[in-house]
Structures are given as structure tokens and as C-alpha cells.
Structure 1
């Protein structure tokens, strides 16, 4: 009897199958059955550092590219924070090309430490590079390899900083062009995927450096909580983030609706005499009626103030700065200005101020972009 000459199919690793199901669910693609080749498949990009999480994600996405329903490329960002980072980026790009990803882009960034630490500066530079790359090649989405463990760490960091609901909600599965399909996957499972698919991940030495708060949370706080409270603490923290995320999304929707009704926009002239042009290109100030702000629930009021600051080009203000801005509504003491992050100031027109008590700035909080 002639030996069976049919090729032996390797058994699918269950963790790889689980990861494929997560990516497929988020992209609306099937992992089984006959593939449906698309004439002009959409392009997605994977943000890949070369570490186990993002490399595993890239390999899983390559499966969908081979089925012909989507094109998959990647962006490797070199932050230049360590010696040899350029070589790491080149090696990562080469491994991604071997997986069949195309295009594979390498972007070298310069960090801007304008009042922020290295982690925040690297994050800002990374997302700037990812967005520019997606725009350049016409990608519909950028996939990121954050895991359940990253989510748990984010919640604990938010608690330590006394942050609000949005911060405690952690990272969203969908936000703009960004997708995070692995938020239900443990970090150790991405290592299993790399082993199963014979990948060679890069292990960032910064992930072992206790100088970083997130590293201390990862290797000190979470293991301590697990020892004291029992296993499953990471899953519980991630589950809390999911619950708070839905609450935060609802509050954000309400705040956006109120902001749309209240915000008046104008150029960079003085508040009392500025013409309310409404032209975004000339936007230098935003006015918010004090009486209407006082009538909002505190959770909405803080969000409306934050939306104005961000629209003027600032960054999300801290709760402390927002609370200081909110105190201006009491019309007691100083009329400001209160400085928010990102060179945005907020003040009110004082009743004791000389000149007519009228114009677009009177009876309103004025948020101004400092030039």
C-alpha cells in the first residue's frame, strides 16, 4: 500500500486560534470556512515595536491577509530612547516582511519633552507617527497590541493618580482609527503565540527598569495584590475598566451635546470686543455662558471645560486644573486666568473691571489659547 502523500496539517495552537477570533471579531472577518477574496481589500496597519504583544498581533493579522479579505501592513516607530534602537527597528521590519506584511514602514521620531516625562513624550511621538503613516498609505485602521495586563496596569495607575472616570476606564477597544483586539488576552498568551509561530520578539529592557512607575506596578504592585487578594486581580481590574468605560462614554456623549449648544468661538482679539467669526482657522478663544455652566451636573461641567481646552489645541487638563477653572464660576476672589495644560488659559470678566459690562466675553468664561 502506497504511503499517504497528503501534506500533514499542523494542529492549530489554541491560543493562536483564540487571538485570531479576537482580531476577526473586531474587523468583522471570519477565521474559518472558505475565504472570500476581495478585489480591492482595505488596508490596516499594525503598530509594532517588535515586542511579544505587537509581534504576536502582526502574525495573527498576517493570517487574514493571506485569506485575501484585507491587506495588512505595519509601522515600526524608533523612539531613539536606547542605544541600538535603529537596529531593533530594522530587525523588526525584516521579520514583519517575512510574515508577508506590506507595506512595512519604519519611522524615526524626535521626542518633545515640553513639560512631560519620557513616557508621555514617547507616546505623543508614537501616535503622531502612526497617524501620519495611516494617512500616507490610506489605511482604514491601526491595530495596537495592548493586552489585559496593560489594561489592569492603566486602571491602577489611574487610581494612584486620583484620576477621573475616563482614566479609570483604561484603554478603549475602539477609539478613532485605533483598534485594540488583545484587551482580553493575557501578556503570557502573546508569548505563547510567539513560541507557537516561531517568532523572535524583542524584549525591551525598559520594561524591567523600576525607574518607570508602570514597571513598578507590573512587577511589584500587581503581584502583591494577587498574593494578598488571590488570583484574578488583573481580570477584575480590566472588568472594572469595561464597566467604567461604558459610563464614561455615556457622560462624554452628554457633554459633547451640551458643549455643542454652549460654545461660542472667535478669533484672537480681546474677549470683550472680539468678533464671533466661528472660523476654526482663526480660532483663538471660546466662550462658555457662566449661568448655563452652573446649571450642568458637575460631571458634565468638567467635561465641557475640557472639550473647550482641547479644541483650542491644549491637552486633556488634570482634574486639579479643571477644578480651579470651575471655581471661577463662584465669582468669588480672583477672576483668573487659570492656566490649563497645553498653553490654554481660562478666565472670567470681573464685574469690577473698567469698561462696559457687555460683549461676547461678559457673563461667560473665556478660554484663550496663549500664543
Structure 2
């Protein structure tokens, strides 16, 4: 909310200064930076709404306010519709070109409607539109500045973080290769699921790549990194084993903070197990002693609080557990996915996430299809 208000006030003050200096330069103010930067951090709807509110406020300040408001709202609509992936440099240049063209065409049309002739068109106004278009290119460094000041994450930062050649992911691949491979599989599953329900696929992918970085501390205590038949947990009590497993979440948060990962990515590390139980060691402890406190075998949480974090929890559980399938068949995979996700729903893991039953069913379908592709299920032909 502070970020949105700051942007509105900044644009109003900048326009006021320009109007007081010389009203002829009012179109040099790159007002389309507002919907661009808001779309980069939030979504198109909020970007458009904030832009319209700002233009209505500026209507009280600028002369010939109807023409100004009309031009700026049209330009804002074009901005929202044309920019799809801001992290692609070509898209920004194309969008700025379209914005400038819309300003010129709209001004041309307005002058003909009002005056009935093209003789009153001022060529210097076209120059102000071009200058305003060039000033809009400043949105790239501005987004970077906003990220540092307000601690937010744009698609450009997510694209950088998704690079598997980054120092942190390289370290993960060296220290815990099994975990790294698991994270890549989860990232692919989560991205497909996010695309299916119109969630932020780029954010989910990055969250999935980093969600298990805490396993770098004790990699051999996790089955995916065990290369020999020796299990490190054989010499430990079930409670100690559970503590090491649960500890990878806390360790992951510490490593993420040390490496300056954004809070939105750290949220995935915190929530990917929610408040679920380390069931294997809990049952092992119950075999030895019936009086076992289940809270000792539970992850600290919190439970997922967005669509993206809920998707990661589902994909992580399904991918990890799928490794235990001996002879996977289509029916076995269907039942297996249903069982895992239904159990998470029964435990109330998705109560804080804005995800619907319909979306969960869509995610189940995607996971079933993807797992069948991974295991290359084929019909058996007669010999």
C-alpha cells in the first residue's frame, strides 16, 4: 500500500512541478511508468486502476484537463495490453513505440475534431510525446530501485534467480546432487500446475528451485542424496532423526537470508511442509513407546498462504513420494496423487491459501499427467 501511494504522490508532484515550470511540457512526464511498474510487481488490473485514479487527480491540476485525461487513459490501456513480459528488453521498446504512437494519433484526432483543420496542429507537441516515450524507458532502472527500497520482487529478478548457474544453486548441486535433481523436477511440475490455474509460474519455479537449500547442511540424512546402502539414520533415535529432517527448513531460511534471497522466495522455504508430520519417524517412535508427543515430529510451519506456496507443497510431496513407487501404473499414480493431496487438505494445510477446490482438482490432473510422462507408461504389447 505504501508503494502504491508513493507512486501516485510521486507522479502528481512531478506533474505539478512541470505545470508550474512550463505547461507546454506536461506530456514529457512519463505517466505510463506507473502502470508499467505496478504490473511488474502486482498485476494488470491494479496497474490500470491506479493509473486511472492518478489521471483523475491530475485532471484538477493540468489545463485542458479533458483532453489530457483522455490521452493518458488511452495510453495507460495500451501500456497494460501491450507489455506482457517486461523482462524481455524488446517488449519494452515495442511498447514504448506503441505508447508514443497512440499519443500522437490521439492528439491528431482531438485537434481535427475540435478545430476541423490540421493547420492548428503544433509540431512541438509531437516532440514532447517523443521525449515522454523516451523517459518511459527509465522504468527498468526504476523497478530495480523499487526492489531495493521496498523489498519486492519483479519478473526480472525472478528470471535472474531461476538461473541454475547461480552460485547458491551450483553449491546445492555439488553438496546435495539428489536434492538439486529433486528441486528441478518439482520446479517443472510446479510451473506446469501454476500455468494451469493462472498463478505466477515464474515465482513458483524460483521457489521450487530454492525450497530445499537447507539440506546442504546434512545432505546424507536425506534419502535422495544417499549413494550407498548405509543409512545415516540407523544410528539415531527417531526423535533425533526427525529433528534433523525438520531442521532443514530453519537451515534453509538462514542460508537464504545469508545469500540475500527475497522474502517472497524465502516464503516457499518456510511453508513447503506447512505443519505436516514427519510420519515415518513418528510411527517408528510409536513402535517403541506409545506415549509420544506428535508435536515433536511436526514442522514449525506456517502453512501456505498463497496459491503459489500451496502449489509447491503439493508438487514437493507428490514428487518426493513418487520415488517410492516400485512398478508405477496409470491407476496407481492416479490413486497415489489423490491420496497425498487429499491428506494435506484434511490436515487443513491450504486453509490460508486463496486456492479453490476446482483449482486443486486441476493441479491433481496436471500432476497425474506429468508423472505418467516421467515414468513413460506404455500399454504392454504382446510379444
TM-score scaled by structure 2? 0.23
Bigger Rg, structure 1 or 2: 2
TM-score scaled by structure 1? 0.23
Q: Which has the higher helix share?
A: 2
Q: Which has the higher strand share?
A: 1
